Structure 1
Amino acid sequence: MTSKHITISLLLLGSILSSCNDKDKEFDASGTFEATETIVSAEANGKILALNINEGDILKEGQQIGYIDSTQLHLSKLQLMKNQKSILSGRPDINVQLQSLEREKASAISDRKRIEILVKGDVASQKQLDDANTKIRVLQSKIDAMKSSLSTTTSTLNEQGGGVGIQLQQIEDQLHKCNITSPVNGTVLTKYSNTYEMAAIGKPLYKIADLSTIILRAYITGNQLSQVKINQKVNVSVDDGKGGFKTTTGTISWINDKAEFTPKTIQTKDERANMVYAIKVKVANDGTYKIGMYGEIKFQ
């Protein structure tokens, strides 16, 4: 090889090394993408009669995707409804119960008026009038006592019926929880249970995450900490598969106030610069970004 060829080769090698160094310096931080994952668990006991999801399905908040056998709960509800009806049907009709006494009182009042007229004409004695007044007072006392007794009975039965009503509300809540619905918008990441398997309260059914906004957890040094702040815009880049990068804008949503892998003794500025802090950057996801994918950050 001639000296000219050697010189050209060295220049090319130097150019490549310089390019590599520039690429390494192109970004301020790097990390991996993650998402807020939610593990949805069963809220009822019983056999899973339907669970219509597959990994990768996109679900809407409140969307029903299955249900757990609720036969026994339904039967319990019917029994409670009959019990409540039986209890409330035993409430007395106060007006009907008092009708006879009210008629007797009305007759006594009529008699008293007649006696008052006779007393004024000296045809009846004062004692007859006093007896008429006493009879009215006795009848009124009986009416008051019966009203009190019937009201107490009615109130007691209403309370018993209300207690059954609360039990019915509990059954309704349990029946509602037999319906398996998605608590959030998102993509099914993992399916843990299948149709016809037994479910128990707290047993995981599937894992879901909202991938419309994904998070890049990156790491910066202590020296870079002063360059970042919450809601700051940064450039986020990922490999485009063609030797280049796809870049978008993200927003810093969190900065850890504690360093990771902190040395036991921090004495010099250089040592402090080696401390690593985690930050989270929110990025709108058009489907490009996946959990676990590597990403790079450049401060704007």
Structure 2
Amino acid sequence: MKTKLYLYAVLLTIGISGCNLNDHLSDASGTFEVDEVIVSSEVSGKIISLDLEEGMVLKKNSVVGFIDPVPLELQKAQVEATIHSLHQKTMDVRPQVQMLRDQIAILKTQLANAIQERSRTERLIKADAATTKQLDDWNIQVDVLRKQITVNEQQIKVQETTTGTQNSTVLSEDKPLRKSVAQIDDQLKRTHITNPVNGTVLTKYAMAGEVTSPGKALYKIGDLSMITLRAYITGKQIGQVRLNQRVKVLIDSTSSTYRNYTGIITWISDKAEFTPKTIQTKDERANLVYAMKIHVKNDGYLKIGMYGEVKFK
């Protein structure tokens, strides 16, 4: 009450009449801030170009610079050469198998002839025109030829199985190496420095010619077209506000006038905190206050860190 009486006295002293004191008293106050995004390097290398300056407005997904891709390109070429060499390490079993099959065909022909001669010898023995020893010799030859055919057929299976296993072991490295190529391709794409959001460059941390590494900050950007006023209210006032409520936001224009804006309350904290030292609430005796965020469309006059006041009605 004493504060209001004192302000009335001051206004009357300087000759202001017909002025409502409540027009100069805000319900809450705070400072303007913006959601900032720090854009960092995703790969290591020398920065070839970084075409941006502080205050420059950038569009989302625009390419603003490049990091030297040559080391990654050489790494990719090395992995691709290793993949190519894998196929040279594999064995082609087909010539050996074909040779064994040709031998089998010859043995089968010899077997057929031996069986035929054995049958002829059996007829001659019945006619007392041949001896049993001749028949025994043909039986032995038939058995030998059959065993040779069996051995060759087993060799084919062994060759196919062994070579297939060896080739599978060699070619098992192909898939991991191709994954490495895909990974390098992804890193090559990241050598393009792509701006992630629409906004204004707030701070530039790196220059062309510098060597960067993953996670190293390149620049900071924020969308200044819609700026946020973080204001504080007391526990008594929290019942006067709600989400999506329209409020009046005031900033100093001159020593005696304000610039007015319309804001929308987008967030109200559900937990109380101690009053920041830089904030003056309507009830200066309040120790605990609630934070809230008010989105205000920026016409270019609103700046980060600027002090603002809020009127609920």
Q: Normalising by the residue count of structure 1, what TM-score does the alignment of the two structures yield? A: 0.77
Preserved contact between residue 238 and residue 294 of structure 1 (Cα < 8 Å): no
* Corresponding residue of 1:24: 24
Counterpart of 1:226 in structure 2 is 239
What does residue range 1-300 of structure 1 map to in structure 2 within 5 Å?
13=13, 16=16, 19=19, 21-25=21-25, 27-108=26-107, 130-229=143-242, 231-239=243-251, 241=253, 243-261=257-275, 274-285=287-298, 287-299=300-312
| CA 213–151 in structure 1, closer or farther in 2 if over 3 Å, else same | farther
Residue 56 of structure 1 and its aligned partner are, at CA, apart by 1.6
Deviation at 1:217, TM superposition (A): 0.6
Percent of aligned pairs with the same residue?
37
Measured after TM superposition, the shift of residue 80 of structure 1 is 2.5
Quote the Cα distance in structure 2 between the aligned partners of 1:108 and 1:20: 121
Structure 2, unpaired ranges of 5+? 1-8, 124-134, 277-282
Count of aligned pairs between the two proteins: 283
The alignment's C-alpha RMSD in Å is 3.6
Q: Which runs of 5 or more structure 1 residues have no equivalent in the other structure?
A: 1-8, 263-269
> What is the rounded CA distance, in whole Å, between the counterparts of 2:76 and 2:11 in structure 1?
86
SS at 1:38 equivalent: strand
- Tell me the distance in 2 between the aligned counterparts of 1:244 and 1:271: 22
Residues 161-183 of structure 1: per-residue CA shift (max 9 Å, x gap) = 33433433343333333222212
Instruction: Tell me, yes or no, if the aligned pair for 2:272 and 2:288 is still in contact at 8 Å.
Output: no
What is the deviation of 1:113?
Answer: 6.2
Q: Distance in 2 between matches of 1:132 and 1:152?
A: 30
Any conservation in 2 of the 1:223–1:273 contact (CA below 8 Å)? no
* Cα separation, 2, equivalents of 1:63 and 1:246: 34
Cα distance per residue 1:139-188 (max 9 Å; x no partner): 22211211122112211221233343343334333333322221222211
Residues 100-126 of structure 1, C-alpha deviations (whole Å, 9 max, x = no match): 223334454566666677778867866
Distance 1:282 1:11 in 2: 33
Give the 3-state SS of the residue equivalent to 2:196 in structure 1.
Answer: coil
Q: CA deviation at 1:258?
A: 3.0
Task: Specify the code of the residue in structure 2 equivalent to 1:41.
Answer: S
> Letter of the aligned partner of 1:233 in structure 2?
Q
Partners of 1:248 and 1:298 in 2: CA distance: 10
- Kindly indicate whether the alpha-carbon contact (under 8 Å) linking 2:48 and 2:67 is maintained by their aligned counterparts in 1: yes
CA distance in 2, matches of 1:254, 1:11: 35
The one-letter code sitting in structure 2 at the alignment partner of 1:74 is E
CA distance in 1, matches of 2:24, 2:10: 21
CA distance in 1, matches of 2:24, 2:231: 16
Q: CA deviation at 1:71?
A: 2.5
Deviations 1:190-211 (A, max 9, x none): 1111111232333321111123
Q: Distance in 2 between matches of 1:20 and 1:117?
A: 132
> 2:129 corresponds to which residue?
none
Q: Is the 8 A contact 1:48 1:68 kept in 2?
A: yes
Q: Is the 8 A contact 2:261 2:296 kept in 1?
A: no
The verdict on how the C-alpha distance between 1:130 and 1:259 changes in structure 2, with shifts beyond 3 A counting, is: same
More moved, 93-102 vs 13-22: 13-22
Residues in 2 aligned to 1:213 and 1:11: alpha-carbon distance in whole angstroms: 36
- Inter-partner Cα distance in structure 2 for 1:113 and 1:240: 114
The structural deviation recorded for 1:14 is 9.8
**Structure 2 contact 250–310 (Cα < 8 Å) conserved:** no
